[in-house]
Amino acid sequence: MPVAQPIYNALIDEIKSLPENYTVEIFNFIGYLKAKADQQSGCPICAKLRDPITGEPLYNAETIAAIEEGDAILRGEIPAKRYNSLEEMLVDLDADD
Angle (CA) 4 37 2, round 5°: 15
Over 17-83, what HEC string results?
HCCHHHHHHHHHHHHHHHHHHHHHCCCCCCCCEECCCCCCEECCHHHHHHHHHHHHHHHCCCCCCCC
Tens digit of each residue's pLDDT (9 = 90 or more) over 33-73: 777 665 655 555 566 677 778 877 778 788 888 888 988 98
Judge if pTM exceeds 0.75.
no
CA-closest candidate to residue 40, choices 32, 28, 52: 32
The pLDDT assigned to 77 comes to 92
